[in-house]
């Protein structure tokens, strides 16, 4: 025997005792925080532009500004207010590691530049360097002329 139909509006739409209604509500909640594109028709709410952080408030229904390359996310303002101290705290914890990384990179760059400078040869392969530096060469030329 099949399921018994239930016609009460409290329990849902017929045979499933309200499970479809609960699934639909859960789906609607998931769609509340999904990505939207500019120029798309949306319901009321607060939409945040992910590129520059600007906020667009739609009172009833409206169209999101700009072209379809701009992405918006629907997120309540109270959520942003609650998340901002947490994000700030994470930044404060990460800042010392960022500073150590930047300073370490500068030190390693200078060390490698120094090592490259002292290991570079100052002569070319097609010249003979058996008589020393140029001062020694001038001295020897002067001795030969006398």
- 85-133 pLDDT, tens digit each: 999 999 999 999 999 999 999 999 999 999 888 877 666 667 666 665 5
Residue 34, pLDDT > 90, answer no
pTM for the structure as a whole = 0.41
Taking the C-alpha atoms of residue 54 and residue 45, their distance in angstroms, rounded to an integer, is: 14
Q: How many residues can be counted in the chain? A: 146
What pLDDT does residue 8 have?
A: 46
What pLDDT does residue 73 have?
A: 84
- Per-residue confidence band for 140, with pLDDT thresholds at 50, 70 and 90: low
Task: Look up residue 118 and give its two tokens.
Answer: 């002292």
- The ranges assigned to domains in the chain are 1-29, 33-75, 80-120
What is the percent of the chain with per-residue pLDDT over 70, rounded to a whole number? 60
User: C-alpha distances in angstroms, 9 versus 16, 24, 27, 60, 112?
Assistant: 12, 15, 19, 27, 75
Mean predicted lDDT score pLDDT of the chain: 76
């Amino acid at each position: 025997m099949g399921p018994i139909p239930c016609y009460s509006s409290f329990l849902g739409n017929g045979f499933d005792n309200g499970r479809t209604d609960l699934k639909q509500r859960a789906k609607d909640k998931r769609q509340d925080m999904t990505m939207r594109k500019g120029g798309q028709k949306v319901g009321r709410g607060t939409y945040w532009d992910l590129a520059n952080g600007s906020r667009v408030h739609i009172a009833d229904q409206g169209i999101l500004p700009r072209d379809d390359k701009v992405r918006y996310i629907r997120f309540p303002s109270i959520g942003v207010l609650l998340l901002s101290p947490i994000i700030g705290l994470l930044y404060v914890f990460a800042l010392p590691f960022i500073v150590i990384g930047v300073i370490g990179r500068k030190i390693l760059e200078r060390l490698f530049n120094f090592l490259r400078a002292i290991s570079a040869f100052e002569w070319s392969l097609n010249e003979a360097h058996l008589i020393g530096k140029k001062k020694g060469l001038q001295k020897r030329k002067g001795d030969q002329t006398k």
